[in-house]
């Protein structure tokens, strides 16, 4: 006997999370500047406060005193021998530039804002500061993440902190379509709808199921949500019949930001950092 299609999940208790305070971590990297602009755009749409955070990374200061350490031009000026005093001065300059960038972004978007400087281990300090915020934004190629090997699913997403994480990458982050990967999470649909309406961006819902029947139920539900909201967008069916199905579907949509809910079982088996690299897009992940 054939099994009937799964019913669409209830919306009760699955509304879009409130995002009133957004923290953006800055380290001078190009992807951090992308994160700042994306965070400012989200803050403007959501009428949220924007807070910039620059960490004077103690690991860099300690490394600077090693006899084999040479300067990195982006951080500390012309190439040459380096010590902790020179690195400290360079970090102060970088912090000043970061503060100016946050102020400029806030002026462009007419945002309430502030800027803070802390000293400590980069990832640990960022996550500690992020506890009181609704969203943490940072560059997908953050130098400290590369250095410590922190991966989204096994590291940042498992640590205490804000309810959502934006890993920003690429020039399409603030202008490309919003793509929501949806199976059972109504939260991700609600947030995608809200952002698409507020930012007037095209929304694509990738409705996934373990079978064609399951995917069809979710696809129809997604289409109904789009019609009821009067949004410009589309929905695509995705049958999870092979390991690379998600990546292949996303490459067809060319997303600016990919929205996911970590509680959704479709996300549990994905390496989100790898997925972001494959799709060459930013990730906004609900925790």
Of 226, 225, 249, nearest in space to 237 by CA: 249
Domain boundary assignment for the chain: 21-168, 178-286
The per-residue pLDDT for 143 is 58
More confident of the two residues 282 and 110: 110
Given a cut of 80, is residue 75 above it in pLDDT? Answer: no
Q: What is the pLDDT of residues 162-214, one digit of tens each?
A: 789 898 887 778 788 999 999 999 999 999 999 999 999 999 999 999 999 99
- In eight-state DSSP terms, residue 79 is S
pTM: 0.83
**DSSP secondary structure string, 188-217?**
HHHHHHHHHHHHT--EEEEEEESSHHHHHH
Q: Enter the CATH code of domain 21-168.
A: 3.40.50.12370
Q: Give the model's confidence band at 140: pLDDT under 50 very low, under 70 low, under 90 confident, else very high.
A: confident
Given a cut of 80, is residue 22 above it in pLDDT? Answer: yes
In CATH terms, 178-286 corresponds, of 3.40.50.620, 3.30.70.330, 3.40.50.20, 3.40.50.11540, to 3.40.50.620
- Rounded to whole angstroms, the Cα distance separating 71 from 55 reads 18
Given a cut of 80, is residue 235 above it in pLDDT? Answer: yes
Average pLDDT over residues 87-107: 92
Average pLDDT over residues 221-250: 88
């Amino acid at each position: 006997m054939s099994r009937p299609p799964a019913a669409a999940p209830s919306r009760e208790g699955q509304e879009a999370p409130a995002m009133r305070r957004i923290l953006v971590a800055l380290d001078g990297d190009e992807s951090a500047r992308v994160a700042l602009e994306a965070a400012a755009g989200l803050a403007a749409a959501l009428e949220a406060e924007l807070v910039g955070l620059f960490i004077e990374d103690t690991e860099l200061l300690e490394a600077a005193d090693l006899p084999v350490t040479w300067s990195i031009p982006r951080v500390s000026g012309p190439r040459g021998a380096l010590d902790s005093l020179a690195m400290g001065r360079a970090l102060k300059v970088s912090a000043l530039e970061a503060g100016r960038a946050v102020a400029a972004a806030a002026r462009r978007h007419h945002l309430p804002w502030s800027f803070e400087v802390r000293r400590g281990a980069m990832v640990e300090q960022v996550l500690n500061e992020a506890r009181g915020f609704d969203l943490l934004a940072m560059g997908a190629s953050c130098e400290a993440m590369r250095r410590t090997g922190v991966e989204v699913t096994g590291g940042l997403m498992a640590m205490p902190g804000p309810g959502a994480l934006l890993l920003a990458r690429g020039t399409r982050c603030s202008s490309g379509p919003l793509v929501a990967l949806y199976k059972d999470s109504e939260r991700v649909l609600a947030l995608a709808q809200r952002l698409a309406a507020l930012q007037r961006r095209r929304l694509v819902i990738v409705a996934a199921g373990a079978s064609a029947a399951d995917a069809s139920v979710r696809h129809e539900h997604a289409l109904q949500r789009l019609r009821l909201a009067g949004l410009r967008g589309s929905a695509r069916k995705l049958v999870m019949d092979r390991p690379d199905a998600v990546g292949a579907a996303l490459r067809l949509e060319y997303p600016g930001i990919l929205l996911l809910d970590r509680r959704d079982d479709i996300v549990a088996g994905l390496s989100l950092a790898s997925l972001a690299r494959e799709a060459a897009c930013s990730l906004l992940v609900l925790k």
